[in-house]
Amino acid sequence: MYWFALRDWWRSHATWRTAYLLFLGQVVSFVMALMSFTSSLIADLDGSKPLLGDVLVIAGTVFYAMSNVGEEFCVKKKNRIEVAAMIGVYGFLVSAVEISIVEIKSLESIEWSTDLILAFAGYAVSTFMFYTIAPFVLQLSGATMFNLSTLTSDMWVVLIRIFFYH
């Protein structure tokens, strides 16, 4: 009898169910972050500051997730094409400033070859495809599903590497 009452309550309270699942996701994320920090403290790694690396990775992930939420907001309030165009324009401006300040000497010292140009062109095409398709995915499914799918793609890469390149 108790099981049926709990099941009916669970089905009828969608807001509580969503809040519970969000809390559960936050707990899992917090536990995984703690595991990452403790592994950096325990392991004898070659890096000079592994804890700083973990903090930077987590901060980068948080900021990327926040940018996806902002992009979802823009896609749902404005036109997808306008959002994709603004990503391209601002991405070009930020990249041009960053290259001219930080990477100019490295860029001048590159010995260009056909393989390097083809690799760069492949990267440019794949990045173009990603940021062209991303607004469509964000409008259809939202930032949460988009972030989960990018995390899942990393796991698929690990599986493909294990089974095909091992």
Per residue in 111-160, pLDDT (tens digit) is: 889 999 999 899 989 988 888 888 888 888 888 888 877 777 767 777 77
- Strand, helix or coil at 111? coil
The rounded distance, in Å, linking the Cα atoms of 120 and 62 is: 28
Closest CA to 127 of 86, 88, 153, 78: 88
Instruction: Tell me the whole-structure pTM to 2 decimals.
Output: 0.59
Sequence-distant (6+) residues with CB within 8 A of 130 are none
Q: From CA 42, how far away is CA 50, in angstroms rounded?
A: 10
Return the ∠ at Cα 147 (arms to 163 and 141), rounded to 5°: 110
Q: What is the pLDDT of residue 153?
A: 72
